[in-house]
Structure 1
Amino acid sequence: MEAAAGLQEAAPVALKFEFNPKLGIDNPVLSLAEDRGPSDVWLCPERPRFCLLSKEEGGSFGFHLQQELGGARHVVCRVEPGTSAQRQGLREGDRILGVNRHAVEQEALEAVARLIRASGPRVLLAVVAGPALDTARAQQGDGALLCPTLGPGVRPRLCHIVRDEGGFGFSVTHEHQGSFWLVLSPGGAAERAGVPPGARLLEVNGVGVETLTHSQLSRRLWQSGEQVTLLVAAPEVEEQCRQRGMPLAAPLAEGWALPTRPRCLHLEKGPQGFGFLLREEKGLGGHLGQFLWEVDPGLPADKAGMQAGDRLVAVAGESVEGLGHEETVSRIRAQGSRVALTVVDPKADRFFRMVRLSPLLFLESAEAPASPQSTRSASGAETEDPPGADTALPRAPRGSRQCCLYPGPGGGYGFRLSYVASGPRLSISQVTPGGSAARAGLQQGDEILEVNGRPVDGEDDVDRLHQLAEAEPPLCLKLGARSPRGWSGL
């Protein structure tokens, strides 16, 4: 049994962390080092690797799947030369463990192919070489090499920001070309759209930033006009992906404040039928699609919320992208008198084509509120965090601000402290460019007023801060205005 799965180009967004030994490690707890760690997962054949594939309209990803005889493993049986699959390192004999954020090793072949088709122009595959899988299973049993996943709320975010009188509500810091982080304006448009504090910027309107200079990025943001859609990752998401060897890929994203979403319509056939006409015609960019027209008032389609001009993207949750008219009609008829249709209106169609993602990736949260203002973090709106990662804090009084930090890949927070006997007791004397502290907005000279809710008022606080490496993240600081004094290292 074999299933073809889709082609064409995508630049992987696997992110590399760099360690500059010139920075040194002054404070053994608040280390300035942020490297990848001693082990490189990409060089370990016993660990899953990730392939981010993409395709052009009407093309394929460039590989074929088959199911092992007598087993549930999905094997890449053919990779087409010159395709995205070949360029991104997919090889014949690879076993597929995951599709985007779904573990699929125990799924049927058709279910796996359906997930790949529903991913749209881009798909992230977790794979492992066949011999490595067999060796691991022989040594560790069937539980070995489970697909690494990200939990709900700990994933990259696709955030749609609408400019207000304060602009987009963020500024951009960078360490080198392609590495950008956002510093949020409190209460600004970006914060209201769900951009987390210290977020790493990955894409602007569906285009990766890894090859852009700072001036090119600024020009692209200016050209966005009154609204922009950013793919971002919070520091804790970046860290979890690093630990799992996962790229910060767009198909893993959850939507925040999106301007539109797909709609799932549930229809039950009445005496006069469903009450709509399905027609194949050219849509955006001249590409063929299946469109819904002549919605009869008062009949099931109208009552379910169907609008003339909607484009059909799925039947019973299964993508119909690329299917011809007759096959699409057959799938609708096969559902009988009750059918679930997933549709997008022209506005949604334009949006999801711009960000190069399938609307089906955002279907499961389509009923979520469009704005995340109901839950707030220390310096912005966020979804509920998993247990142990709660960052909710009261707002800082005027003249101070709150910052929550997570350890970087090397285990440090990326800043250095100084202590003086008079004046500001504890202050920031050095901040690693691009580190966790820099991404959270810490600056040289900031005075520390509170640590994890406890006031800083004496020399004993230095000893307490030296124990931070053993504390559960995040590290939450209340910071005062920058101090004009000089600094002396600890």
Structure 2
Amino acid sequence: MEAAADLKDTASLTLKFEFNPKLGIDNPVLSLAEDHDPSELWSLERPRFCLLSKEKGRTFGFHLQQELGRAGHVVSMVEPGTSAQRQGLRAGDRILGVNNHVVEREDHAVVVRRIQASGPRVLLTVLAQHVHDVARAQQGDDACLCPTLGPGVRPRLCHIVKDEGGFGFSITQGHRGPFWLVLTTGGAAERAGVPPGARLLEVNGVSVEKFTHNQLRRKLRQSGEQVTLLVAGPEVEEKCRQLGMPLAAPLAEGWALPTKPRCLHIEKGPQGFGFLLREEKGLDGHLGQFLWEVDPGLPAEKAGMQAGDRLVAVAGESVEGLGHEETVSRIRAQGSCVFLTVVDPEADRFFSMVRLSPLLFLESTETSASPQDTCSASLVETKNPPVEDIAMPPDSCGSRQCFLYPGPGGGYGFRLSCVASGPCVFISQVTLGSSAARAGLQMGDVILEVNGFPLGGENDLERLQQLAEAEPPLCLKLAARSWQGLEAWNPQGLERTGL
């Protein structure tokens, strides 16, 4: 009833057709009636982008729901006076993408985790419900309505340490932004990954879009001996212009960052894991889960845990905002082998300064030895896989292909499990921000083929053990997800989450 009332408010929208020379067809465009702002137009070719910021102690200001049996995630309510309302998010909008991930067919819980794991800022790609319905009718269910940026064509978060030549760049353009950087050949900025002709977007997490030249110079001087810049090269700037996509920080790749999140693989020993989890206030004044009393010689210390680390994810899933008991339950649910993502106080301060979640930079900071980012040595056998994590056979729901390239750490960013009772190998975990996530792998997807070789025989394990050594790209043929299984898992038919 709530969503129906909201949609009724938009009934004054009118549909008109404009010839699209690129497609050679009449392109439907929804325009607002006289009682709305006439400058607002929604085209089926170009979704809207809402860059939301979470204020301290507050949420983004919207509620998300999913109707089981129908793919998609619908905004059911937008709270007045919040970032969601100010950025134009409306009740009835369908969320197509979170940062650089297409989420239209992902589970409700997965989409919620992606938004929560984005930290204080998130970029949502949305279409109004009625626009979405027309687009689907015109282009078909298989069409991808959500634009994304390809690998290497994203803004960069670059940390620059001053040397004898300074930061290694000068600033060009007028009295007030936008600003572009002119690099010194071989200078500190170039070594830190700043591309030639880069546009400067942020300095230490602060937008310089409205800065004057003097304000920018003052901000850089205040940075001292090191500074973190958000920049976009000409190719990225042009691509975002074509897509109508903002040059947003949550889209960024990390380059030469001074610190990083750490992924710990801990196997329980005879004396336990060897650490204590305690809830206390962090640097931002909010409650968090901290690791203390790391016992010398026990598994936690051997895995690299340090007293004072803050826990940010369990099994790749964010625990930001969770209470102590729920966090402990998630750790215990992994059994005798746990995967934790942590940040030390220095990393905590850095990511707090740039106003981004460390989970957005897992792939660009993980090492090749990290179990989170490998796909061969993590095969787990299970007799009773959860119904929501198993896809239907390909003859009932189709299949798709995904091409993956290894990340900077050398891995692809997913884990596998197999069913003991039959030939079924499926994706049991996808690391946020990894190559696997960008390619669209989802928990529960069944692997049908690897590099053209079908699975389902006696040599599956041997072939899977060779995945990490295969020449990229890695080509996977996957069975699509099953909505029938999801309905059996949650018969209520509707799930809503405040964000």
TM-score class normalised by the smaller sequence: 0.5 to 0.7
What 5-or-longer segments of structure 2 have no aligned partner? Answer: 3-38, 369-406, 409-499
Alpha-carbon displacement from aligned partner over 1:202-251 (angstroms, at most 9, x marks no partner)? 00000000111000000000010000000000000000111111100000
Q: What is the CA-CA distance between 1:326 and the residue it aligns to?
A: 1.2
Q: What is the CA-CA distance between 1:141 and the residue it aligns to?
A: 1.1
Is residue 172–residue 182 contact of structure 2 (8 Å, CA) maintained in 1? yes
Aligned to 2:274: 275
Q: What is the CA-CA distance between 1:101 and the residue it aligns to?
A: 0.8
Is residue 161–residue 229 contact of structure 1 (8 Å, CA) maintained in 2? yes
Structure 2: which amino acid aligns with 1:116?
A: I
Structure 2: which amino acid aligns with 1:244?
A: L
Aligned to 1:246: 245
Aligned to 1:161: 160
Aligned to 2:300: 301
Alignment of 1:179-218 (within 5 A): 179-218=178-217
Aligned to 1:288: 287
CA 1:322 to 1:57, structure 2 compared with 1: closer, same or farther past 3 Å? farther
Aligned to 1:45: 43
Aligned to 2:91: 92
> How far, CA to CA, are the matches of 1:244 and 1:45 in structure 2?
12
Q: What is the CA-CA distance between 1:69 and the residue it aligns to?
A: 4.1
Alpha-carbon displacement from aligned partner over 1:74-133 (angstroms, at most 9, x marks no partner)? 000010110000000000010000000110011000000000000000000000011011
> How far, CA to CA, are the matches of 1:293 and 1:91 in structure 2?
43
TM-score (norm 2): 0.65
Alpha-carbon displacement from aligned partner over 1:377-402 (angstroms, at most 9, x marks no partner)? xxxxxx99xxxxxxxxxxxxxxxxxx
Q: What is the CA-CA distance between 1:140 and the residue it aligns to?
A: 1.8
Residue 229 of structure 1: SS of its match in structure 2? strand
Residue 350 of structure 2: SS of its match in structure 1? helix
Structure 1: which amino acid aligns with 2:280?
A: E
CA 1:266 to 1:368, structure 2 compared with 1: closer, same or farther past 3 Å? closer
Q: What is the CA-CA distance between 1:62 and the residue it aligns to?
A: 0.5
Q: What is the CA-CA distance between 1:368 and the residue it aligns to?
A: 6.0
Is residue 42–residue 245 contact of structure 1 (8 Å, CA) maintained in 2? no
1:357 and 2:362 matched: no
CA 1:58 to 1:316, structure 2 compared with 1: closer, same or farther past 3 Å? farther
Aligned to 1:338: 337
> How far, CA to CA, are the matches of 1:260 and 1:72 in structure 2?
38
Structure 2: which amino acid aligns with 1:45?
A: S
Structure 2: which amino acid aligns with 1:326?
A: E
Aligned to 2:104: 105
Is residue 275–residue 293 contact of structure 2 (8 Å, CA) maintained in 1? yes
> How far, CA to CA, are the matches of 2:215 and 2:332 in structure 1?
50
Structure 1: which amino acid aligns with 2:332?
A: R
> How far, CA to CA, are the matches of 1:221 and 1:67 in structure 2?
45
Is residue 136–residue 145 contact of structure 1 (8 Å, CA) maintained in 2? no
Alpha-carbon displacement from aligned partner over 1:353-394 (angstroms, at most 9, x marks no partner)? 00000000001222369xxxxxxxxxxxxx99xxxxxxxxxx
Is residue 169–residue 191 contact of structure 1 (8 Å, CA) maintained in 2? yes
Q: What is the CA-CA distance between 1:337 and the residue it aligns to?
A: 1.1
> How far, CA to CA, are the matches of 2:111 and 2:226 in structure 1?
35
Larger Rg, first or second structure (1 or 2): 1
Structure 1: which amino acid aligns with 2:43?
A: P
Alignment of 1:371-386 (within 5 A): none
Structure 2: which amino acid aligns with 1:318?
A: E
Alpha-carbon displacement from aligned partner over 1:323-346 (angstroms, at most 9, x marks no partner)? 111111111111111111000001
> How far, CA to CA, are the matches of 1:174 and 1:291 in structure 2?
46
> How far, CA to CA, are the matches of 2:213 and 2:135 in structure 1?
44
Residue 52 of structure 2: SS of its match in structure 1? strand
Q: What is the CA-CA distance between 1:42 and the residue it aligns to?
A: 7.3
Structure 1: which amino acid aligns with 2:235?
A: E
How high is the sequence identity, in percent, across the aligned residues?
81
Moved more, 106-115 or 286-295: 286-295
Q: What is the CA-CA distance between 1:176 and the residue it aligns to?
A: 5.0
Alignment of 1:253-264 (within 5 A): 253-264=252-263
CA 1:214 to 1:263, structure 2 compared with 1: closer, same or farther past 3 Å? same
CA 1:136 to 1:285, structure 2 compared with 1: closer, same or farther past 3 Å? closer
> How far, CA to CA, are the matches of 2:336 and 2:68 in structure 1?
37
> How far, CA to CA, are the matches of 1:224 and 1:368 in structure 2?
29
TM-score (norm 1): 0.66
Is residue 45–residue 128 contact of structure 1 (8 Å, CA) maintained in 2? no
Structure 1: which amino acid aligns with 2:358?
A: P
1:117 and 2:116 matched: yes
Structure 1: which amino acid aligns with 2:115?
A: I
Q: What is the CA-CA distance between 1:169 and the residue it aligns to?
A: 0.4
Q: What is the CA-CA distance between 1:265 and the residue it aligns to?
A: 0.3
> How far, CA to CA, are the matches of 2:253 and 2:352 in structure 1?
16
Residue 150 of structure 1: SS of its match in structure 2? coil
> How far, CA to CA, are the matches of 2:284 and 2:129 in structure 1?
40
**Aligned Cα root-mean-square deviation (Å):** 1.8
Residue 123 of structure 1: SS of its match in structure 2? strand
What 5-or-longer segments of structure 1 have no aligned partner? Answer: 3-40, 370-382, 385-490
Alignment size in residue pairs = 332
Residue 364 of structure 2: SS of its match in structure 1? coil
> How far, CA to CA, are the matches of 2:325 and 2:202 in structure 1?
37
Structure 1: which amino acid aligns with 2:107?
A: A
Q: What is the CA-CA distance between 1:268 and the residue it aligns to?
A: 1.1
> How far, CA to CA, are the matches of 2:190 and 2:351 in structure 1?
22
> How far, CA to CA, are the matches of 2:144 and 2:304 in structure 1?
44
> How far, CA to CA, are the matches of 2:41 and 2:175 in structure 1?
25
Residue 98 of structure 1: SS of its match in structure 2? strand
Is residue 174–residue 213 contact of structure 2 (8 Å, CA) maintained in 1? no
> How far, CA to CA, are the matches of 1:212 and 1:56 in structure 2?
22
Is residue 266–residue 304 contact of structure 1 (8 Å, CA) maintained in 2? yes
Is residue 45–residue 129 contact of structure 1 (8 Å, CA) maintained in 2? no
Is residue 65–residue 76 contact of structure 1 (8 Å, CA) maintained in 2? yes
Over 6 Å off, 4+ runs = none
Aligned to 1:147: 146
Q: What is the CA-CA distance between 1:299 and the residue it aligns to?
A: 1.0
Aligned to 1:379: none
Q: What is the CA-CA distance between 1:143 and the residue it aligns to?
A: 3.0
> How far, CA to CA, are the matches of 1:245 and 1:144 in structure 2?
19
Greater RCO (CA < 8 Å, at least 6 residues apart): 1
> How far, CA to CA, are the matches of 2:320 and 2:292 in structure 1?
18
Residue 154 of structure 2: SS of its match in structure 1? coil
